[in-house]
């Protein structure tokens, strides 16, 4: 490990204009506050993106059709659907992993969400610091229509975005807010590359983003209009999930960021066209009891397109694993199987 002291780190960052900083986890935000102080330029960028209310305010002129309003957790129980008078998304103002994210279409649905949103958010937030997931405040936003995509990108020394991956986020119905299935391919990237780059350039007008990596979640509607869901700064896709770019395109995103490399997507397309790659996030929906275990071998055996498994410590985290697949045209049914996977079916009694 090439460890440096806090004073050395401050010196190195100062020389690079406090840019080209990558964190392997949002858990590191608290350490950055300790290292650089709450008023540092780095933290201003983090807060703009991590705080969903500040982000919506900053981009309100770019996207005037997106309604938003923040509420304290104590206000949720008294909030009537008629006050919003339209379908909406509710989620923690500072959030992670789609915890506490719900779509509400009616007063009846809102009644059900009010009963469970705080409890479910608190369960997941127990695994993360408040800088990552905080259940004290929630933001309500208008529903953004279109297909959802996740983007790994960084800004170069000219404040120009460099796209490293585009993942299509699949859902199992309009009320599914889970992070269960992501798919990428050379076709997906090249089809949406121009629109994504234009959106990121627009985002780069808000402030100096030179040397900033980010993981963006967006929706693209039928007219090709891009609207942001949220932006996660100083990192790419969480945990090991961004490695799907390595399996799909041979792109080590960390190498590309640290060496300031840019993918040549036209060349990648010629080599990888016709192939689909998927990442399955196997969620833990209920606790695993004493005397039980998750059967990873049984999980991988049901997918003929299996590439790689990354198990997660499910005793302390809300996931069982990340599963990577290479799906050809003869096995696209496995994507539907992954989307409808019941993780509880792989829990076994310890022999």
CA distances from 240 to 72, 99, 234, 272 (A): 33, 19, 15, 22
Instruction: Tell me what pLDDT residue 137 has.
Output: 81
Segment 63-70 shows an average pLDDT of: 91
When mean pLDDT is compared across 20-34, 83-97, 202-216, 292-306, the lowest value belongs to 83-97
Candidates 234, 236, 231, 237; CA nearest to 49 is: 231
CA distance 66 to 141: 7
In percent, the amount of the chain with pLDDT more than 70 equals 93
- Strands ordered across the beta sheet of 213-220: 226-233, 213-220, 147-155, 161-170, 181-184, 276-283, 319-327, 306-311
CA dist 279 and 282 (Å) reads 10
Give yes or no for a contact between 161 and 211, defined as CB atoms under 8 angstroms apart: no
**Domains in the chain, ordered, with CATH?**
6-142 (3.30.1490.20), 147-349 (3.30.470.20)
Query: Collapsing DSSP states into helix, strand and coil, what is residue 139?
Result: strand
Per-residue confidence (pLDDT) for residue 299, from 0 to 100: 95
Mean pLDDT to the nearest integer, 18-46: 87
Mean pLDDT, range 232-248, rounded to an integer = 92
In sequence order, which residues have a C-beta less than 8 Å from that of residue 110 and are 6 or more positions away? Answer: 79, 81, 104
- Quick one: residue 172, left, alpha or beta (phi over 0 = left, psi -120 to 50 = alpha)? beta
What is the C-alpha separation between 24 and 78, in angstroms, rounded?
Answer: 39
For 96-118, what is the mean pLDDT? 80
* pLDDT reported for residue 189: 97
The answer to whether residue 124 scores a pLDDT higher than 70 is no
What is the spatial distance between Cα 113 and Cα 213, in angstroms, rounded to a whole number? 34
Task: Give the separation between CA 119 and CA 116, rounded to whole angstroms.
Answer: 5
Are 244 and 167 contacting, i.e. CB atoms less than 8 angstroms apart?
yes
pLDDT given for residue 128 in this prediction: 64
* Helix (H) or strand (E) run with residue 104 in it: strand 102-104
What is the average pLDDT value for the chain, to the nearest integer? 88
- Is the whole model's pTM more than 0.75, yes or no? yes
Three-state SS at 201: helix
Residue from 63, 341, 46 nearest 199 by CA: 63
| Whether residue 125 has pLDDT greater than 80 | no
């Amino acid at each position: 490990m090439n460890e440096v002291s806090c004073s050395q780190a401050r010196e190195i960052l100062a020389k690079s204009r406090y840019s080209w900083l990558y964190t392997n986890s949002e858990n590191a935000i608290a350490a950055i506050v300790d290292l650089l102080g709450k008023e540092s330029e780095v933290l201003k960028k983090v807060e703009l993106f991590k705080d969903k209310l500040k982000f919506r305010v900053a981009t309100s002129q770019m996207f005037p059709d997106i309604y938003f309003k923040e509420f304290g957790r104590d206000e949720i129980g008294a909030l009537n659907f008629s006050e919003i008078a339209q379908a909406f998304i509710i989620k923690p103002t500072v959030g992670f992993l789609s915890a506490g994210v719900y779509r509400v279409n009616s007063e009846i649905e809102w009644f059900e969400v009010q009963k469970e949103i705080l409890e479910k958010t608190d369960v997941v937030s127990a695994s993360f610091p408040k800088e990552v997931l905080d259940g004290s405040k929630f933001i309500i936003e208008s529903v953004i229509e279109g297909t959802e995509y996740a983007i790994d990108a960084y800004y170069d020394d000219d404040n120009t975005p460099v796209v490293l991956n585009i993942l299509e986020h699949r859902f199992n119905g309009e009320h599914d807010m889970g992070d269960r299935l992501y798919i990428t391919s050379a076709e997906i990237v090249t089809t949406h590359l121009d629109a994504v780059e234009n959106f990121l350039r627009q985002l780069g007008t808000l402030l100096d983003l030179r040397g900033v990596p980010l993981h963006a979640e967006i929706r693209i509607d039928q007219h090709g209009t891009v609207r942001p869901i949220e932006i996660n700064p100083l990192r790419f896709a969480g945990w090991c999930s961004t490695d799907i770019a390595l399996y799909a395109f041979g792109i080590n995103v960390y190498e590309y960021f640290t060496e300031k490399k840019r993918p040549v997507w036209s060349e990648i397309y010629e080599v990888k066209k016709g192939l689909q790659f998927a990442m399955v996030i196997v969620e833990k929906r209920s606790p695993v009891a004493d005397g039980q275990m998750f059967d990873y071998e049984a999980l991988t055996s049901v997918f003929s397109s299996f590439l790689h498994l990354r198990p997660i410590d499910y005793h302390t985290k809300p996931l069982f694993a990340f599963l990577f697949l290479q799906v050809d045209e003869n096995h696209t049914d496995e994507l539907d199987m992954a989307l409808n996977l019941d993780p509880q079916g792989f829990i076994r009694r310890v022999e």
